[in-house]
Amino acid sequence: MIPATVIGGFLGAGKTTLVNHLLHNATRRYAVLVNDFGAVNIDAGLIEARGDAVIALTNGCVCCSIGADLGADLGAALADLAARHPAPERVVIEASGVGDPWQVAQLCLVEPGFALDAIIVVADAAAFPDQLIDPYLADTVRRQMARADLVIVNKSDCADPPLRAAVAAAIALIRPEAAIVEAECGAIPGSWLDFAAEPHDAAAADHRGHEHGHPFCSWLWRDPRSFDRDRLAALLRQLPPAVLRVKGWCRVGPAGEWRLLNYAAGQWSLARSAPPPAADAALVLIGTAALPPPQVLAEMFDAALF
């Protein structure tokens, strides 16, 4: 049986950063399954081969993309991994930032050849307390924590000791069975994936959970033109609280240089693209039900273009 670990946590907590760290420092054959394939930042020197849905690495790991239809696409991806020679020594699945990692974990309980080892949830040390009292976010954040075996309090360097203690206490109230550890920039030893969780029973899987949605909505922005950096920065500083996450590729500056935009919890960054994306510029915005209408969002982003 191949052990499977599910990594969950709210938008911007640092799940993909954790996945990047694991892939770059792997001493075992990991297979990592992610929805947002392009966000996984892998050094070119580590890539052995690249396909439409799989990146094979020189350290024996593979990174695979799964589609939006979680039930069908994840099941097919797991079946493909089980048939690989040699088979991966561990599968790591990154859940959506607004999804329930337990729903993902249930698929591992019933998929032949796999054993659910642990559910790991990543929390943003600085943002977590506000998320717990936000009427739009609290239910999702609590639901993500509800079955965690291990909680990684990430970005611990951004929170002082009293705040970190308060975060740990709040997590313990939600999920007293979970172990809690602190990390910076998602940097954890690979041995933490061998956390000895309580056995997960396939009979506990409740497939009715897949029928429930979440109280969030998304908006896709596409435009080949380039942003003015100052106007883009002003836009990101003025986004309404209903905007939780902005992520994707865009062009910035007079030369139209590619950048990877990440925005969460009021913080944002523009990272250089290496290599540049194959598709056109596209930003995905995720927010609460109070998100402004698409026309208003389009006008806000268009105003930041050259």
pLDDT at residue 285 is higher than 80:
yes
- Euclidean distance between CA atoms 28 and 37, whole angstroms: 21
Q: What is the mean pLDDT of residues 230-243?
A: 92
The residue ranking higher by pLDDT, 30 or 70, is 30
Q: Grade residue 204 by pLDDT with cuts at 50, 70 and 90.
A: very low
pLDDT at residue 199 is higher than 70:
no
What pLDDT is stored for residue 300 in this prediction?
A: 95
Percent of the chain with pLDDT over 90: 36
Cis peptide upstream of residue 189 (ω within 30 degrees of 0): no
The residue ranking higher by pLDDT, 215 or 218, is 218
What does the DSSP 8-state code read for residue 245? E
pLDDT at residue 205 is higher than 60:
no
Among 224, 216, 217, 218, residue whose Cα is nearest residue 285: 218
CB 42 within 8 A of CB 57: yes
Which range among 59-73, 148-162, 233-247 shows the weakest confidence by mean pLDDT? 59-73
Average pLDDT, the chain: 83
Which range among 36-50, 146-160, 228-242, 261-275 shows the weakest confidence by mean pLDDT? 36-50
What pLDDT is stored for residue 24 in this prediction?
A: 85
pLDDT at residue 63 is higher than 50:
yes
What pLDDT is stored for residue 220 in this prediction?
A: 86
Which range among 8-12, 281-285, 300-304 shows the weakest confidence by mean pLDDT? 281-285
pLDDT at residue 38 is higher than 50:
yes
What pLDDT is stored for residue 79 in this prediction?
A: 81
CB 211 within 8 A of CB 204: no
The structural domains of the chain, ordered by start, are 2-200 (3.40.50.300), 216-302 (3.30.1220.10)
Which range among 40-44, 79-83, 102-106 shows the weakest confidence by mean pLDDT? 40-44
pLDDT tens column, 141-179: 999 999 999 999 999 999 999 999 999 999 999 999 898
The residue ranking higher by pLDDT, 272 or 89, is 89
Do the strands 2-9 and 216-222 form a parallel or antiparallel pair, or are they unpaired?
Answer: unpaired
Phi-psi region of 266 (alpha: psi -120 to 50; beta: other; left: phi over 0): left
| pTM summary value | 0.74
pLDDT at residue 67 is higher than 80:
no
Q: Grade residue 16 by pLDDT with cuts at 50, 70 and 90.
A: confident
Q: What is the mean pLDDT of residues 280-288?
A: 81
Q: What is the mean pLDDT of residues 111-119?
A: 85
CB 88 within 8 A of CB 64: no
- Euclidean distance between CA atoms 206 and 252, whole angstroms: 46
Q: What is the mean pLDDT of residues 37-59?
A: 76
